[in-house]
Amino acid sequence: MAQYIPIGSPVNAVEEEGIRMLRDELPDHYVVIGNFELQPANRRNTLEYDAVVVGEYGIWVVEIKGWGGKISGDIRRWSLDWGPVENPLIRTEMKAKALRHFLVTHCGGLPDDVFCESAVFLPLPVDITLDDPRRDKVIHGESIWRFFDDQKRIEELGPGPLLDGPLRDRLVACITPAVTEPQDRFEIRGYDIEAELSREDVPYREFVGRHKMLSSRNKVRIKRFEMDPLMPKKDRQASYNRIMRDMEALGRLEENPYVARAYDVIQDRTNKLVFYLVTEWVGPKTLSSYIEGNAEDEQVNGFEICSHLLRAISYLHSQGIMHRKLHPGVVFLVPDRSVPLKLADFDYARIATLPSIATDLNELATVGYTAPEIYVEQRDDYDHGVDIYAIGVMMVEVLLRQRLMTTLEDVLQHRAIWDSTRNQFDEELRSVLDRFLAPDPNERRPDMDHALRVFDERAKKI
């Protein structure tokens, strides 16, 4: 059993299990230093380390990931069951280089043949295929001893320099006083975080996680909102109202299959300006993927998607809810469920029975999907027609498998762009879509029942 020196605490159960496995399965003369931050010279930000293993020949910087199931990837990205992520070896190699530089600078007399290398440890069962020459640096639970206790190196070189106890102790004594417990880590009561999701242009951080006790819940989506402590009290209350509006809307729509279910609202234990919104995990794939022509999405046809979009928005409006910020990035495709899509992100929703959220109109704007009365005319007397317009644009894009408007210049020419595009559809579809995309909100009053019949009939023919 290796010596274990904890600087901080593991952030989740898988990381804790990974460190336990390293400690229990490595030889007595190995050292595992767990969970710390290092401040490299000439860098503003610290680097966070899950574990550092001091072995016989050198040091490994080990990144522990709670990823399981089927994984594939290359030198840049890995594909997991919930979406793509950066290849973790990229950042782990950077951390290894930083630690090596620190050791050379601060630990005099370190033998030249003592290496500092990177590794990624996956404690959960995994089926992994990597097109990456560094794939031998990815460790599974059953390969811990084989990876770290390199018999080939022992046979070629004999005993390693760090088998010498005093030298090993000096190296460890050089590291431990210079590092600190991670500060930018947070614990969400009742949940483990598996990974942070990468989404642009959103006012929150987003994670995929699991409930610690309710295994039947599977994965969850966690949105972390942090309010500015220097914000005026009035603006802070407006920010809080917007955060809560997401859960209010989801709660009212809980029984509808087109909406992600709401689970929890949790205030951070130590920072009262931080809130976590926990909702149903509906996967990583959005309608944007379908519009961009992803071949994996062919199992659902465009007319069927349009039918379900109409049903989803009709139900929202029947419950007195306007989404106000609809675009393909908030429509998640779930083809293995009872319905093929779910709506999410109701942060800016307007609910008829609740006070309206005072919102800068620019915050509602998503280029290409925002109705002209908001984006061009800057009117604040809009109604559910803003959602109708966004649905209309998305239906056109779904049927053509391409974006309709991508720039502000396009938006300003929205009437001309639609006039030049509509001829790609037959007369019946043009008549339906014209109603959804009418520039005048007073004319944007489509017959939803008729539109549903049109798309349903065409979906059945495919």
User: Which helix (DSSP H) or strand (DSSP E) does residue 434 occupy?
Assistant: helix 427-436
Would you state the pLDDT for residue 195? 80
Q: What are phi and psi of 333, to 5 degrees?
A: -85, 125
Eight-state DSSP code of residue 259: B
Q: What tokens were used for 184?
A: 């930018």
Q: Which has the higher per-residue pLDDT, 126 or 218?
A: 126
Would you state the pLDDT for residue 363? 57
Eight-state DSSP code of residue 349: -
- Judge whether residue 318 has pLDDT over 50: yes
Query: Closest Cα partner for 4 from 31, 36, 37?
Result: 31
**Neighbour-count burial for 234-258, b at 16+ CB within 10 Å, e otherwise:** eeeebbebbbbbbbbbbebbeebbb
Q: The domain spanning residue 197 has which CATH number?
A: 3.30.200.20
> If pLDDT is split at 50, 70 and 90, which confidence band does 361 have?
very low
Residues 6+ apart with CB under 8 A from 9: 35, 181
Q: Which of 124, 151, 178 is the last residue of a domain?
A: 178
Q: Which of 242, 265, 281 is the last residue of a domain?
A: 281
Would you state the pLDDT for residue 380? 63
Query: Model's pTM, two decimal places?
Result: 0.69
pLDDT tens for 386-431 read 999 999 999 999 999 999 998 888 888 999 999 999 999 999 999 9
pLDDT tens for 25-55 read 998 999 999 999 998 887 777 899 999 999 9
Residue with tokens 């059993």: 1
Would you state the pLDDT for residue 379? 61
> Do residues 44 and 133 share a domain?
yes
The strands making up 77-80's β-sheet, listed across from edge to edge, are 83-86, 77-80, 69-74, 126-131
- Judge whether residue 276 has pLDDT over 70: yes
> Do residues 272 and 301 share a domain?
no
Q: The domain spanning residue 290 has which CATH number?
A: 1.10.510.10
Span of 39-53, 62-76, 238-252, 261-275 with lowest mean pLDDT: 238-252
- Judge whether residue 354 has pLDDT over 60: no
Task: Render 105-174 in DSSP notation, one character per residue.
Answer: HHSTT--TT-EEEEEEEE-S-EEEEEE-TTGGGEEEGGGHHHHHS-HHHHHHH-S-GGGSHHHHHHHHHH
- Judge whether residue 345 has pLDDT over 70: yes
> Do residues 192 and 165 share a domain?
no
Q: Which has the higher per-residue pLDDT, 108 or 265?
A: 265
Q: What tokens were used for 159?
A: 């005993």
**How many other C-beta atoms lie within 10 A of the C-beta of residue 17?**
16
> Do residues 97 and 165 share a domain?
yes
Q: What tokens were used for 125?
A: 């069962």
> Do residues 304 and 434 share a domain?
yes
> Do residues 311 and 274 share a domain?
no
- Judge whether residue 378 has pLDDT over 70: no
Would you state the pLDDT for residue 84? 83
Question: Can you tell me the distance from the alpha carbon of 217 to that of 11, in angstroms, rounded to the nearest whole number?
Answer: 20
> Do residues 324 and 206 share a domain?
no
Contacts 24+ apart (CB under 8 A), 439-447: 439/372, 439/414, 439/415, 441/371, 441/373, 441/382, 441/383, 441/385, 441/386, 441/389, 444/371, 444/385, 444/388, 444/389, 445/385, 446/388
Q: Which has the higher per-residue pLDDT, 233 or 119?
A: 119
Question: Can you tell me the distance from the alpha carbon of 37 to that of 47, in angstroms, rounded to the nearest whole number?
Answer: 5
Question: Can you tell me the distance from the alpha carbon of 331 to that of 316, in angstroms, rounded to the nearest whole number?
Answer: 14
Would you state the pLDDT for residue 423? 93
> Do residues 126 and 29 share a domain?
yes
Query: Closest Cα partner for 203 from 412, 44, 9, 348?
Result: 348
Would you state the pLDDT for residue 43? 74
> If pLDDT is split at 50, 70 and 90, which confidence band does 187 have?
confident
Contact 192, 12 (CB under 8 A): yes
- Judge whether residue 76 has pLDDT over 50: yes
- Judge whether residue 374 has pLDDT over 60: yes
- Judge whether residue 102 has pLDDT over 70: yes
Would you state the pLDDT for residue 297? 58
- Judge whether residue 364 has pLDDT over 60: no
> Do residues 346 and 441 share a domain?
yes
Contact 192, 278 (CB under 8 A): no
> Do residues 274 and 289 share a domain?
no
How much is the average pLDDT of 362-391?
Answer: 78
Per-residue 3-state assignment (H helix, E strand, C coil) for 293-335: CCHHHCCCCHHHHHHHHHHHHHHHHHCCEECCCCCHHHEEECC
> If pLDDT is split at 50, 70 and 90, which confidence band does 352 have?
low
> If pLDDT is split at 50, 70 and 90, which confidence band does 185 have?
low
Burial category of 163 from C-beta neighbours within 10 Å (exposed 0-12, middle 13-18, buried 19 and up): middle
Would you state the pLDDT for residue 358? 45
Would you state the pLDDT for residue 317? 92
> Do residues 415 and 452 share a domain?
yes
> If pLDDT is split at 50, 70 and 90, which confidence band does 201 have?
low
Q: Which of 127, 153, 178 is the last residue of a domain?
A: 178
How much is the average pLDDT of 164-190?
Answer: 84
> Looking at the 3D structure of the chain, how many domains does it have?
3
Q: The domain spanning residue 147 has which CATH number?
A: 3.40.1350
> Do residues 380 and 354 share a domain?
yes
Q: What are phi and psi of 168, to 5 degrees?
A: -65, -45
Q: Which residues pair with 299 in a beta bridge?
A: none
- Judge whether residue 260 has pLDDT over 70: yes
Structural domain span for residue 255: 186-281
Highest mean pLDDT among 77-91, 251-265, 419-433: 419-433
Would you state the pLDDT for residue 229? 67
